[in-house]
Chain A
């Protein structure tokens, strides 16, 4: 069925600018990722029917919930959604059991209570049914909220930063539980988060948002390794973003050649960028391989680039290294290496090292200014200026 799942298109200029389009298939978890103020929660509230947007259309499994043109606008009750709020929004005067039972008004008496007990047991809260929300820990409250959201067998499950109010240890346990629970769920699930790791860990697809605009959607790892624009790369915290010129393409070898600071770099074939044009390119830190200083190793001939270690910061068992390539005034390369590797290779401040930039990791993007809309470019660029 072509209409299966959730289809959302929202547009408005004020009060919160929105220009968003997204889809979520049944059983799929879509993560909406973006900085605070990017409109993630607004989109979620619009899907729930808690907020009315000027223009757009929301449909789920063939039923139109909202259409600005025809004036259709179903109430949240009628849309039948499950919503887990950031602060959980449990009814503070009702027990965990009664909280879940409130969402089960379709059932009567004993069946209602039994189903609420089953749901609480499913989220590992058996025995705590009679507790009031304030007598539960943050993680337990979140579980009650999830049980309550699932109680109505919702058409869509909406999660608004559900892990932001719990400590780190609890969060990791809840991730695992949610991942387990997900396997049993057949409805579209939309997760709002500003935490990229959360999206990478839990979501099937992710959608990157800024200023109310959906910029790119796709499997999380694809979006991260192949951002569509400098803006997306910056929003996702990709550090190695540089400019280069395209030298040409070798179709038979599936290679695109670029020129960067005097190096001829071999990249995955990306023929959309014409020879002679300027591009921005990015490489994930995991695609930069350090050469051993004592003896040559595999892949040394793949885009070798040498530079001087300008910063060396220990982060637990790893070290964050910045490498100056060419002039010191230009943006450096960032890479993370295990601490023992750094020790064995005597890598420290001022050391000259050589790395390989793996061919498949080099991703080309349109040059930044041309691609970034004026509105976004005029922002004080929280994510930093594009690198030269």
Chain B
């Protein structure tokens, strides 16, 4: 069992959520309620990671984050290390390929809030911040929770993009999915089987927790 890889995967998932959640809430809310030019195009672009083959996405990220790219060069001049094949590069890639998994459920969550309820909040004299904090966020919570779980599970399981952008550096970019693959390549089916089972349990727990809590939200005496 590769505990280092598991820990790295969990860290990556936690960081991805930390970065993506505020961004996802902002984007999801804007997309749910505002009408603007190019909205359809924006939504299509944000959904792109859903349909692109992970290797294609990984390739473009590799180019965009590589030493020859402005972003890669900037990172290297500051930190002295390349962005690709590092945890930082992996995090950027993880955030990007998780965007649709976070934004779409959050957008649906905000869309589900009736316009009259938002108007009522304004008529009650609630400030913009209090309206967000006290009314909108709790009501969009089921969507936000789905986004959390999907992002978490998807980060643990992502393989193609991670391999392209991160390679397989133990303790730096070798996630549990990569580790399982390597164990299988080495005919170590016992370790591969054990790690797969751990991943299965974590995913099952995460998805079960979502269903349980959203059922609780819907229950009459919640």
Residues of A in contact with B (beta carbons under 8 Å apart): 45, 48-50, 75-77, 80-83, 85-87, 89-93, 102-103, 105-106, 132, 134-135, 148-149, 151-152
How many A-B residue pairs have C-beta atoms within 8 angstroms? Tell me: 64
Partner of A80, one of B120, B125, B134: B125
What does DSSP make chain A's interface, helix, strand, loop or mixed? loop
Query: Within 8 Å of chain A (Cβ to Cβ): is B126?
Result: yes
Residues of B in contact with A (beta carbons under 8 Å apart): 114, 116-117, 119-127, 130, 134-135, 138-139, 220-221
Partner of A148, one of B116, B124, B138, B221: B124
B124 touches A93 (CB 8 A): no
Extra pairs beyond A102-B124, A149-B123 (20, CB < 8 Å): A48-B123, A50-B123, A77-B126, A80-B125, A83-B119, A83-B120, A87-B114, A87-B116, A89-B114, A89-B120, A90-B120, A91-B121, A91-B139, A93-B139, A102-B135, A105-B126, A134-B220, A135-B220, A135-B221, A152-B124
Residues of chain A with a CB closer than 8 A to B116's CB: 85-87, 89
Known contacts A89-B114, A92-B117, A92-B139; is-contact A103 B220 (Cβ 8 Å) = no
Quick one: closest B residue to A45, CB to CB?
B119
- Can you list 18 pairs linking A and B with CB atoms under 8 Å apart? A45-B119, A48-B119, A49-B122, A76-B123, A77-B125, A77-B126, A81-B123, A85-B119, A86-B116, A87-B114, A89-B117, A89-B120, A91-B120, A91-B121, A102-B121, A103-B124, A105-B125, A151-B124
Residues of chain B with a CB closer than 8 A to A135's CB: 220-221
Quick one: closest B residue to A151, CB to CB?
B124
Residues of chain A with a CB closer than 8 A to B123's CB: 48, 50, 76, 81-83, 149
Known contacts A134-B220, A152-B125; is-contact A102 B119 (Cβ 8 Å) = no
Residues of chain B with a CB closer than 8 A to A106's CB: 125
Residues of chain A with a CB closer than 8 A to B117's CB: 89-92
What does DSSP make chain B's interface, helix, strand, loop or mixed? helix
Closest 5 CB pairs of A and B: A89-B116, A89-B120, A103-B124, A83-B123, A76-B122
A77 touches B220 (CB 8 A): no
Quick one: closest A residue to B138, CB to CB?
A93
Partner of B119, one of A50, A132, A149: A50
**A49–B123 CA distance with the chains assembled, in angstroms:** 9
Residues of chain A with a CB closer than 8 A to B139's CB: 91-93
Residues of chain B with a CB closer than 8 A to A87's CB: 114, 116
Residues of chain B with a CB closer than 8 A to A81's CB: 123
Quick one: closest B residue to A93, CB to CB?
B138
**A149–B119 CA distance with the chains assembled, in angstroms:** 12
- The minimal Cβ–Cβ distance linking A149 to chain B, given in whole angstroms, is 8
**A373–B124 CA distance with the chains assembled, in angstroms:** 40
Residues of chain A with a CB closer than 8 A to B121's CB: 91, 102
- The minimal Cβ–Cβ distance linking B117 to chain A, given in whole angstroms, is 5
Residues of chain A with a CB closer than 8 A to B221's CB: 135
Quick one: closest B residue to A77, CB to CB?
B125
- The minimal Cβ–Cβ distance linking A236 to chain B, given in whole angstroms, is 29
B122 touches A77 (CB 8 A): yes
Most buried by A among B114, B124, B135: B124
Most buried by A among B116, B122, B123, B138: B123
Residues of chain A with a CB closer than 8 A to B125's CB: 77, 80, 103, 105-106, 152
**A87–B119 CA distance with the chains assembled, in angstroms:** 12
Quick one: closest A residue to B119, CB to CB?
A50
Quick one: closest A residue to B139, CB to CB?
A93
**A75–B124 CA distance with the chains assembled, in angstroms:** 12
- The minimal Cβ–Cβ distance linking B132 to chain A, given in whole angstroms, is 13
A105 touches B135 (CB 8 A): no
